[in-house]
Amino acid sequence: MSHRVLVEAGPAAGVAVLKFRNPPVNALSLEMLMELVISLEKLENDKAVRGIVITAENPGIFLAGLDLTEMCGRNPAHYAKYWEAVQELWLRLYQSSKVLVAAINGACPAGGCLASLTCDYRVMADNPKYTIGLNETQLGIIAPFWFKDTLVNTVGHRAAEQALQLGTLFPPAKALQVGIVDQVVPEEQLQSAALSVMAQWLAIPDHARQLTKTMMRKPTVDQLVKQREADIQSFVGLISQDSIQRALQTYLQKLRQKKG
């Protein structure tokens, strides 16, 4: 029984709601990644489901991204297994035949931002505490090429380059301006806004929409599929470096002190 991911029937016909529920921050641990992949696979095979709204069960943190404890002080085999699961989640989301609408009801850094970028449409709650972006460089890590491509496909090359180099986390209004999100609404209207967008997308015949989505995304998907093994090795090599391990340990200590 999955407890890190909750899937419910949506309030509209043909719509499911997938909720992240991995407290305290919805970090993408290996277990959560696996549960997400299984949940998405079930939804993908469910003919009755045409669209999925993706959100966090509790507002505040949408998805905190990759679980740094999975990338710190472990062995190379663990890093490889973890990275393969991250790739798998992206492939499932980015190639989904369903309409995916992200209802972003909290902070959305790094892997959280990546997951929302795979959706067809992003609605973000207008709360200045909530930010979104690929902030890997701030941790001394480089966003992999397929993270980069997903962002470039969304906001264009120049905006992506600047955001990636600086590791920018955008507040809602700025995220809308750059194009990382498509709509910003008052927090209490988030779910209804996501559902009204969903209705608009579901008004298009599935077959035509799905083929168009595949055509637009195939080159980006093919890039990773072709280089999956090399990408895993490159991640393991990078994350195993002493300097990176030290940076991650320092960052994790800071986080623990904050909590303490």
Catalytic residues: 66, 111, 135-136
Helix, strand, or coil (residue 12): coil
* Residues in contact with 92: Cβ distance below 8 Å, sequence separation at least 6, in sequence order: 36, 37, 40, 41, 44
Helices (H), 52-130: 76-94, 110-117
What value does the CA radius of gyration of the chain take, rounded to a whole number of Å?
18
**From CA 194, how far away is CA 130, in angstroms rounded?**
17
Tokens of 7: 């899937």
For residue 183, give Cα distances in angstroms to 15, 139, 180.
Answer: 20, 29, 9
**From CA 25, how far away is CA 166, in angstroms rounded?**
23
CA-closest candidate to residue 90, choices 148, 45, 138, 131: 148
Other Cβ atoms closer than 10 A to 86: 23
CA-closest candidate to residue 236, choices 114, 96, 87: 87
119: left (phi over 0), alpha (psi -120 to 50) or beta: beta
